[in-house]
Amino acid sequence: MRHQSLSQGFTMIELLVAVAIMAVVTTSALMVFTTQHKTYLGQERVLEVQQDARLVAEMVLADVRTAGLLMPPITGIAGRDGGSSGPDVLCVSDPSVINEANLLAALVPFDGANLFAPVVAAATTVELVPSTMDVDGDGDDDFADNAGIIFSDGGDTHCARITDVTGNVVTFVPATPAGFSVATSSGRAAPAVIYELTGSGLLRNAILLSTQVENLQVEYAIDVDDDGVISNTEFPIHDMTASDPSLIRGLRLSVITRTRGEDPEFRGSGMPVAGNHAAGAADGFRRRRFTASVAARNLL
């Protein structure tokens, strides 16, 4: 008697069903993996800009804490307000230019550089008394290309970046604003650190710190009546051009960073409000804002 073999192959229909099931499972797995990968990349980008904002802010705040150290109080801090559509610029006096060997010999704070001639509106140069350009008396001029400079007489203050030093003439940008006037008799200049935001990113003395900083905002607490109390009219002050820097008691700093590229699946609210800068239009960039306040200890 013949027995029929029990070993038989799959039919075409069974193969097609198996392939279809495998395709569904594979597609589902790929979709889950892709979603998780996008989520991971998005979180990584957010973490990157968050860390960037924090590190930049900590560097700026560290400079602010030394503002006015061994320098004239009227040249401790200066800034330029960017208004509702632009970033702010911040200058703080730079004690690092002072030779450490001279610190012990300094019985009083170094007095900066005296003005040889008054500085008026639309000026792009400041002429300093040659003997005072060496702030600490170590034989080296303390004003250098691409570093910041603050000059003031307590009535008007200008924060600028040096583009050239020839003899005792310091060329700077931008030009002084309308109505600016610093007298020769009371005017002082001090080497400074300058923070500027350009198309390349945030610069510190023309050195790129971060390409992901989108906005820098500075709000000042200025004890205008010098009564030891900061009132609602004395904080926040956004434009300190005509304020006495020696009366600054602190500031609030806001740093906003954004991802390098847009996320096509993300539609945020745009740049957030910070300081007196208006909010931006909604886009696909992810952002983080870091805000901190610090006292100007050397000006108190």
Q: How confident is the model at residue 70 (pLDDT cuts 50, 70, 90)?
A: confident
* Model confidence pLDDT, tens digit, residues 37-60: 455 455 556 677 788 888 999 999
pLDDT digits (tens, 9 = 90+) for 154-203: 999 999 999 999 999 999 999 999 999 999 999 999 999 999 999 999 99
pLDDT at residue 43, rounded to an integer: 59
Judge residue 182's burial from the number of C-beta atoms within 10 Å of its C-beta, 0-12 exposed, 13-18 middle, 19 or more buried.
buried
pLDDT digits (tens, 9 = 90+) for 13-42: 777 777 777 877 777 666 655 555 455 455
Q: Which helix (H) or strand (E) holds 28?
A: helix 12-65
Report pLDDT digits (tens) over 83-139: 999 999 999 999 888 887 777 666 556 788 999 999 999 999 999 999 899 888 788
Q: Is 236 helix (H, G, I), strand (E, B) or coil?
A: coil
How much is the pLDDT for 257?
A: 92
At 36 the pLDDT is 57
Lowest mean pLDDT among 6-10, 254-258, 272-276, 277-281: 6-10
* The predicted structure's pLDDT at residue 242: 86
Q: Which long-range contacts (CB under 8 A, 24 or more apart) does 83-86 make?
A: 83/276, 83/277, 84/276, 84/277, 84/278, 85/277, 85/278, 86/277
Domain extents for the chain?
Answer: 38-299
Whether residue 225 has pLDDT greater than 90: yes
pLDDT at 127: 97
Q: What local confidence, expressed as pLDDT, does residue 52 receive?
A: 85
pLDDT at 259: 87
Out of 80-84, 229-233, 242-246, 266-270, pick the least confident. 266-270
- 1 pLDDT higher than 70: no
pLDDT at 249 over 50: yes
Enter the DSSP assignment of 116: S
**What per-residue confidence (pLDDT) applies to 40?**
45
**Side-chain half-sphere exposure of 116, counting CA atoms within 13 A:** 13
Q: How far apart, in whole angstroms, are the C-alpha atoms of residue 267 and residue 265?
A: 7
d(CA 217, CA 228): 25
Tally the residues of the chain.
300
Instruction: Quote the tokens at residue 117.
Output: 């001639």
pLDDT tens sequence across 260-281: 888 777 777 789 999 999 999 9
pTM, two decimals, is 0.84
Our CA angle for 80, 57, 193, nearest 5°, is 50
